[in-house]
Amino acid sequence: MGEFVRLEVSGGIGTIRLDRPPMNAVNVRVQEELREAAQAASADDEIRAVVVFGGEKVFAAGADITEFTTATYSRMVSRAGALTSAIDTVARIPKPVVAAITGYALGGGCELALACDWRVVADDAKLGQPEVKLGLIPGAGGTQRLARLIGPAKAKDLIFSGRMVDAEESLRIGLADRVVPAAEVYATALDLVRPFVTGPALALRAAKQAIDGGLDVDLDSGLALESHLFTGLFATDDRVEGTTAFVEKRRPKFTGR
């Protein structure tokens, strides 16, 4: 349990909850607590899916800019790598992960949302990468994950301009996956991942690894990765249960083994 980030578990779903009022600004402490929460969620076999949530008012409105005003180049050489790896730890959670976004997801907050598999967005929320307005660029995956998600031209539009996009535009360009009233964001995120709690955990892990890993390599290498992961699932109890249940015309009871 961190000071600003905590991992709550209920019904097989882990919620990584940011709680640094008023805007959940991502400072060094939050960064490291995010890393710890993501590592804990990855290691806990009782957690089958994860929701990243900033609360009813705001997801995360970016980095703590007060830490940047006096930062030196030498300091940021070490800090930038640690920030990137902390957000990457969220992206590497080997389970389905959804961001539940209310209020604002800007800068580092948007990069945290991009590290998730899906984004459920409040109908009055604003998302964006405004770093260029500070004479900077996104430094925790924004230039890479945003371009992979919505395409390079749209990513350049958002990053070059630093403008915020509303929920409707976010949905249209593929930045949001679902848009709901703010009061329904967290419940909708839970509903999205709840079916995975009783799903085949090892197959879901392999599917996520194949998709994410394949995006970073050529097609032949991606196909080789897929084949390797596909074959490995034949050593699991869930594969036996899934195929047997299909033949016997019943619902499978997966155990995650």
pLDDT by residue (tens digit) across 48-71?
999 999 999 999 998 777 777 777
Tokens of 59: 């997801």
Query: What's the Rg (C-alpha) of the chain?
Result: 19
pLDDT band at residue 82 using 50, 70 and 90 as cut-offs: confident
Nearest one of 49, 57, 13, 25 to 5, comparing CA atoms: 25
Per CATH, domain 5-197 is 3.90.226.10: yes
**Statement: residue 222 has pLDDT above 90:** yes
Give catalytic residue positions.
111, 131
pLDDT band at residue 105 using 50, 70 and 90 as cut-offs: very high
Query: Would you state the pLDDT for residue 64?
Result: 75
Mean pLDDT (the chain, rounded): 95
Distance between CA atoms of residues 86 and 55, nearest Å? 20
Answer with the residue of higher pLDDT: 27 or 74. Answer: 27
**Statement: residue 89 has pLDDT above 80:** yes
- At 127, the amino acid letter reads L
Query: Would you state the pLDDT for residue 70?
Result: 79
Query: Would you state the pLDDT for residue 211?
Result: 97
Q: Is 91 helix (H, G, I), strand (E, B) or coil?
A: helix
Q: Are 90 and 112 a contacting pair, CB within 8 Å?
A: yes
Query: Would you state the pLDDT for residue 23?
Result: 95
Region 150-166 average pLDDT: 98
> pLDDT tens for residues 186-210?
999 999 999 999 999 999 999 999 9
5-197 and 200-247 have identical folds: no
User: What residue spans define the domains of the chain?
Assistant: 5-197, 200-247
Cβ-Cβ contacts under 8 Å for 139 (sequence gap 6 or more): 80, 83, 84, 131
Query: Would you state the pLDDT for residue 245?
Result: 95
Query: Would you state the pLDDT for residue 112?
Result: 97
Domain 200-247 superfamily per CATH: Lyase 2-enoyl-coa Hydratase, Chain  A, domain 2 (1.10.12.10)
Query: Would you state the pLDDT for residue 40?
Result: 98
Distance between CA atoms of residues 9 and 202, nearest Å? 20
> pLDDT tens for residues 110-151?
999 999 999 999 999 999 999 999 999 999 999 999 999 999
- The percent of residues above 70 in pLDDT, for the chain, comes to 100
Q: At what angle do helices 152-161 and 142-150 cross, to 10 degrees?
A: 140
Query: Would you state the pLDDT for residue 76?
Result: 84
